[in-house]
Amino acid sequence: MGLGINGESDRVVNSYDERNRMAMRAAEEIREGMIVNLGIGIPSLVPNHLPKQLQVMFHAENGILGIGESPEKGMEDPTLCNAGGFPVTIVSGASYFDSATAFGMIRSGYLDITILGGLEVSQKGDLANWIVPGKRVPGIGGAMELAKKAKRVIVLMNHCNKKGESKIVKECTLPLTAKQCVDLIITEMGVLKVNERGLLLTEVMAPYQIQDVISKTNAPLQISDSIKVIDG
């Protein structure tokens, strides 16, 4: 049984489990030898779901190449954090540098993937992820460079906002980070590819069903002929 249009379901998916399932699915996009940048929030969980033998260097704008798994509680190093200020570990071969060098890596196109959070993504792959009007933030930071200079952009986000409104839309209403930059969207409901025709639904996360994703998406969807159901 899946989640129906009325929002009822025969089982409840814990929000923590949903976040980790999304991070686990994003980890499947990472290949040996890649350099990957992670945004704050759900993307920061991705290193916890990589196979131990996979050699990947995670990049942070504050000047680290080689971020590892999240530290166990009580084992945090107060001098070691990611760009969002959250404690991290490092892997063998990691290096430190200043922010200018970190952004030089981004702008020079060395990042194979950036995995970011999102406030809105349009059917064309436009991304809004840095400000909600009326909220105070320091600025756009590195979001613009990451969105335009990484070889591939993956967005991990909840399918709907706190009001129950779709975050996948025909046109973004929030201030844009970058236009036509998103390649893949992963939410707690499914996986959508951005192509020249718009959005292609390729995977559905159980207990949701195809119709649930369609009803909760404020943009036209193409449905893959070989759609996959992710269960677990």
Q: Where are the domains of the chain?
A: 15-181
Q: Are the C-beta atoms of 145 and 61 separated by less than 8 Å?
A: no
Catalytic residues: 61
Once rounded to an integer, what is the mean pLDDT over residues 112-137? 93
CB contact at 8 A, 103 and 150: no
What confidence tens digit (pLDDT) does each residue in 9-32 have? Answer: 333 446 668 999 999 999 999 999
Neighbours of 208 (CB within 10 A): 22
Q: What is the pLDDT of residue 228?
A: 95
CATH of domain 15-181: 3.40.1080.10
* Residues paired with residue 37 on neighbouring β-strands, in sequence order: 59, 114
Residues 54-99 have pLDDT tens digits of 999 999 999 999 998 889 999 999 999 988 888 999 999 999 999 9
pLDDT of residue 52: 86
Strand order in the sheet with 120-122: 127-128, 120-122, 168-169
What's the pLDDT tens digit per position in 89-124?
Answer: 999 999 999 999 999 999 999 999 999 999 999 999
- Residue 14 is predicted with a pLDDT of 62
For residue 15, the model assigns a pLDDT of 63
> pTM of the predicted model, to two decimals?
0.90
